[in-house]
Chain A
Amino acid sequence: GESVGLHLPTLSVQEGDNSIINCAYSNSASDYFIWYKQESGKGPQFIIDIRSNMDKRQGQRVTVLLNKTVKHLSLQIAATQPGDSAVYFCAENIGGYSTLTFGKGTMLLVSP
């Protein structure tokens, strides 16, 4: 089975709300995690990453939280905008070589 999965397939929010997308992973050996955004007809676009020696990392309007105790990863998007509407994937890597295992994805729908 897949080692990375998501709790919610679709998340609908209003413009300006904060969004939280969750992800569970099962491989405790994973040491690097990435969130990607994929818009229709495009390839995945890097959003933010975090290494296993950290529990939080912030970017522009985005924050990734890593809880290794319960093997849980989340992506927080502040002040969500219609342009944030896309499918979001979490991915994990084990031991270098940048070979990623992706989850199924969560679709984020932002209403104006």
Chain B
Amino acid sequence: DAGVTQSPTHLIKTRGQQVTLRCSPKSGHDTVSWYQQALGQGPQFIFQYYEEEERQRGNFPDRFSGHQFPNYSSELNVNALLLGDSALYLCASNREIATNEKLFFGSGTQLSVL
């Protein structure tokens, strides 16, 4: 049973560019959340997708957007990249039917913005 998978594992971009990160949730999971983890910090909630819609959003600008597909996989898009967007981007999944069910995290995509 595959866990949460993310691609790519590493990515280097320059300021002003756009990036798309991808996530496949754990089998049986229908809810996907994205987190940003800066070096030496805890993950920060970006947004959550359920039934192909953004359901909740953290304190991130509109440059951060996402999408969920019918197969529950998800993408995170970041436009007009800034140096401060350099971070580990984590995808997490869970089952909506189980309130407060523990999140399963992927290994993340390490984004470097030069």
Q: Residues of A at under 8 Å CB distance from B?
A: 4, 31-32, 34, 36, 41-46, 49, 51, 89, 91, 93, 96-105
Contact with A along B1-23 (1 / 0, CB 8 A): 00010000000000000000000
Given the known inter-chain contacts A43-B105, A44-B105, please indicate yes or no for A96 contacting B100, CB distance below 8 A: yes
Whether B45 pairs with A96 at a CB distance below 8 angstroms is no
One of A36, A42, A45, A93 near B100 (C-beta < 8 A) = A93
Nearest Cβ in chain B — how far from A63, in angstroms?
17
Whether A98 pairs with B100 at a CB distance below 8 angstroms is yes
Nearest Cβ in chain B — how far from A21, in angstroms?
13
Chain B residues with CB below 8 A from A44, complex form: 43, 90, 105
| Interface range, B side | 20 to 34
Residue of B nearest to A32 (CB): B100
14 A-B contact pairs sorted by A residue (CB < 8 Å): A32-B100, A34-B102, A42-B107, A43-B108, A45-B105, A49-B102, A91-B42, A98-B31, A98-B100, A99-B33, A102-B35, A104-B42, A105-B40, A105-B41
Check: B68 CB closer than 8 A to any chain A CB.
no
Whether B103 pairs with A100 at a CB distance below 8 angstroms is yes
Whether A102 pairs with B42 at a CB distance below 8 angstroms is yes
Whether B45 pairs with A97 at a CB distance below 8 angstroms is no
Whether B44 pairs with A102 at a CB distance below 8 angstroms is yes
Chain B residues with CB below 8 A from A93, complex form: 100
Nearest Cβ in chain A — how far from B58, in angstroms?
8
Complex A-B, nearest 3 residue pairs according to Cβ-Cβ distance, in ascending order: A102-B42, A43-B105, A32-B100
Chain B residues with CB below 8 A from A43, complex form: 4, 90, 92, 105-108
Chain B residues with CB below 8 A from A100, complex form: 43, 45, 103
Chain A residues with CB below 8 A from B63, complex form: none
